[in-house]
Amino acid sequence: MADEDQPRDRDATRLARASLAADDPTGWFERLYAAAETGDAIVPWDRAGAHPLLLEWIAQRGIDGTGRRAMVVGAGPGHDAELVAGLGFATVAFDISETAIRAARARFPDSAVDYVAADLLDPPAAWQAAFDLVVEVMTVQALPDPPRAAAIAQVSGLVAPGGTLLAVAAVRADGDPPADGPPWPLTRREIDAFATGGLEPVTIEISRHDQSPVDWWRAELHRPR
């Protein structure tokens, strides 16, 4: 059984370290979700709802997704995808962990979201430049580099002409030493790197929310038509 008295990220850290030692930077996600399914691990990012900075951004923008398509990257528990689908977007949400996808479908049995198991590093060709809104919350920060730079470029590649990318990640400030992750917070240069393949920054801001003591990037980017 997972020990609730231990730090919430203990199991993720242990499994990630073993995975990285085997030169497999993404294998630990499935192992973590599978262990959590049997009560043998805690998924530290499994919140009760959508990410506060995504919620705030949506409230500020007053977004209506009717008739438009959205993609949620590394969707994990599914709360962000459910929020986005609730705005009217035809929403696809993917994760590399098949167990996470199965759990999200079971958690939201009446969901309008199309939950799909897929790898951000090798996404289906049909997803290229296909989504009016792309939401990436804490996926890239869960990957070391490599393959981080490739993952950033793949996220940006999902945005359709006229579309928007919203990326949320912890901040690694100038002068901070590299993190002994996961997670590996993003530098300014790394958050700026989402502006690739024609994407243009709209706002890149540092934010705080009441569920975390650290600074967060919230980056909104746009692909011109």
Question: Residues in the site for ligand SAM, rule: CB under 6 A?
Answer: 26, 29, 45, 51, 74-77, 80, 94-97, 100, 119-121, 137-139, 142-143
**Nearer of residues 24 and 161 to ligand SAM, judged by Cβ:** 24
CA dihedral for 133, 138, 142, 147, sign (positive or negative): positive
Distance of closest approach, residue 225 Cβ to ligand SAM, in angstroms: 28
Distance of closest approach, residue 135 Cβ to ligand SAM, in angstroms: 8
Distance of closest approach, residue 87 Cβ to ligand SAM, in angstroms: 17
Q: Judge contact between 211 and 192, C-beta under 8 A.
A: no
Nearest to 51 by CA among 189, 170, 157, 198: 170
* Type of residue at 92: V
**Nearer of residues 174 and 210 to ligand SAM, judged by Cβ:** 210
Distance of closest approach, residue 26 Cβ to ligand SAM, in angstroms: 5
**Nearer of residues 120 and 199 to ligand SAM, judged by Cβ:** 120
CB-CB neighbours of 217 under 10 Å: 24
**Nearer of residues 213 and 224 to ligand SAM, judged by Cβ:** 213
Residues 6+ apart with CB under 8 A from 206: 171, 215, 216, 217, 218
| Strand pairing class (200-207; 216-222) | antiparallel
Residue with tokens 């085997």: 22
**Nearer of residues 101 and 221 to ligand SAM, judged by Cβ:** 101
Distance of closest approach, residue 37 Cβ to ligand SAM, in angstroms: 13
